Amino acid sequence: MKPKRPTTLLAAVLVACFALAVTHAPESLAQKAASSAKPPKMNPDVVKPLQAAVEFANAGKFAEAEAELQKAEAVTGKTAFEQFKIDELYCFTSLKQARYDPAAKTCDSGLASGLLPPEQVNDRLRLLSQLYLQTKPRDLTRSGEYGKRWLEATGNRDPVMLGLVGQAAYFSDNFSAAVTYMKEAIAVSVAAGKKPDENWLLIVQSSYAKLKNNPAILEATTELLRYYPSKAQWQTLAQDLLARSANKDRQILQVYQLLSQVDAMDGADDFMEAATVAIQSGSPGEALKFMEKGYSSGVLEQSGDKAKSQALLADAKRLSAADQKTLPQFEKEAQADKAGEADVKLGEAFLSYGQAAKGLEAIQRGITKGGVKSLDEANLSLGRAYIVNNNNPEALKTFALVTSPEYLQLARLWSIHLSQL
């Protein structure tokens, strides 16, 4: 899967975050710039244009306000306090006009002056962390520095700020740090019952790719799928499962059954390979379902080797018709067998021919008897049986029973799919 470019998503995230800073913080800036408790005596040549600038700013006339500020700026011999007042108003007017470069410069000067009221320092750290990701060029070092200072000063593990620091780390090529901050942002959001930002998940995925950590890439993709499912993500994870299931037809069939369920099969080769594997696994009914879906979706009509697909469809029809004739006898034999393997296979056959209730009953009976070759594979089939019998809660419980490395990820993906219904 080719991930979305994080920079595009970052812009949207920052606009949302920055809107809060612009609509709330600047009002206090204007007020504090205008007055403070027992301020030092100021030069009248500075006070006059400064007061005019405040009036213009409060009226939303920012260009006029800045013209007055330039007059105040031109006064020589200004005190540190006078410069602080000028910078604070420049900070305010620049923010209001979304002029982030001068806003960052003057807001930073206000903080560096040491004259900012202590109760405003943490808010300023937060604002500057956001601002330096909006300047041109972005100042990633300062954004990360101020974000980390805010986190340390407040002790607050705010996911938005963790995300901002993680973004700064990512764009500074510090991918390990990016993962650390983003994973914490995700964890905090999830713990609060909130959906983590897609951009955080994408940065985790991309960071692991930069670090060449393939298992972690798959884990990150799984989490993306959990919260922001897409066909591309299903296919990426399925391709990994197929690669790990090489030459194991039963496992491959289970993967294609999931892909079919989530409508992530869209190539002629997908449908034909799935049908071929189903036939080789002794499940002609499943093969016929794959081929019929391939044709009903238009994929096999419009692409692939049409002669080959027609021949495969004919084979699936012939084999499934013959298979269905043997089911009554197979059912008797399976019921009489002390081991449950035959019952599980019988149940899978019933499911493939649309007999959901009988399929569920047979698989349950087989698992209860014991003696199945793969309990995890049987539980995957049982979970699918619950789904087609409209009992998703029991399906989730059943998938949770799967523990073997061969099938654990597949069971997780089934559970994720059910959680999205």
150 assigned to some structural domain: no
Over range 258-274, report the average pLDDT: 93
Kindly state whether residues 215 and 248 are assigned to the same domain: no
Close Cβ partners of 166 (under 8 Å, ≥ 6 residues apart): 177, 178, 179, 180, 181, 182, 185, 200, 203
Is residue 137, in this structure, part of any structural domain at all? no
**What percentage of the chain reaches a pLDDT higher than 90?**
85
- Find, among 111, 113, 91, the residue nearest to 100 by Cα: 91
Question: Is the pLDDT reported for residue 78 higher than 60?
Answer: yes
Q: Specify whether 245 is located in the same domain as 369.
A: yes
| 3-class DSSP state of 338 | coil
244 and 174: one domain? no
Same domain, 264 and 405: yes
- 180 and 241 fall within a common domain: no
Q: What is the Rg, in whole angstroms, of the alpha carbon atoms belonging to the chain?
A: 32
Query: Residues 95-106: pLDDT tens digits?
Result: 999 999 999 999
Tell me whether residue 68 is in a domain. yes
Q: Which domain holds residue 414?
A: 231-419
Confidence grade of residue 38 (pLDDT, cut at 50, 70, 90): low
93's tokens: 């007017």
Q: How many domains does the chain have?
A: 3
Burial class (CB within 10 angstroms; exposed 0-12, middle 13-18, buried 19+) of 203: buried
| CA nearest to 20, candidates 161, 191, 157 | 161
Query: Please, what sign has the CA dihedral across residues 399, 402, 403, 408?
Result: negative
Band (pLDDT 50/70/90 cuts) for residue 417 is very high
Q: Do 303 and 196 sit in the same domain of this protein?
A: no
pLDDT for 327 equals: 97
- Among 91, 117, 132, the domain-final residue is 132
Residue 146 lies in a domain: no
Whether 112 and 213 map to the same domain: the answer is no
Residues 87 and 190 grouped into a single domain: no
Q: Phi-psi region for residue 196, left (φ > 0), alpha (ψ -120 to 50) or beta? A: beta
Domain stops at, among 194, 211, 228 = 228
The reply to whether 378 and 258 lie within a common domain is yes
Residue 258 lies in a domain: yes
Joined tokens for residue 309: 């697909």
Alpha helices in 97-117 (DSSP H): 100-112
Are 93 and 62 within 8 A, CB to CB? yes
**Residue 138 counted as domain residue:** no
Last residue of a domain, one of 200, 228, 256: 228
Q: Which residue has the higher pLDDT, 16 or 92?
A: 92
| pLDDT given at position 14 | 28
110-165 tens-digit pLDDT? 999 999 999 999 999 999 999 999 999 999 899 999 999 999 999 999 999 999 99
pLDDT tens digits along 275-321? 999 999 999 999 999 999 999 999 998 887 889 999 999 999 999 99
With a cut of 50, say whether residue 36 has pLDDT above it.
no
Residue 8 sits in a domain whose CATH number is: 1.25.40
The answer, yes or no, to whether the previous bond of 229 is cis (omega within 30 of 0) is no
Percentages (nearest 5) of helix, strand, coil residues in the chain? 75, 0, 25
- 3-class DSSP assignment, residue 381: helix
Residue type, 85: K
132 half-sphere exposure, CB direction, 13 A CA radius: 25
pLDDT band at 37 (very low <50, low <70, confident <90, very high): low
Residues 179 and 114 in one domain: no
Please report whether residue 358 resides in a domain: yes
What pLDDT score was predicted for residue 8? 29
pLDDT surpassing 90 at residue 5 = no
Looking at the fold, whether 68 and 124 belong to one and the same domain comes out as yes
Residue 114 in any domain: the answer is yes
The rounded mean pLDDT for the chain is 90
Distance CA(24)–CA(113), nearest Å, equals: 22
Residues 211, 243 within the same domain: no
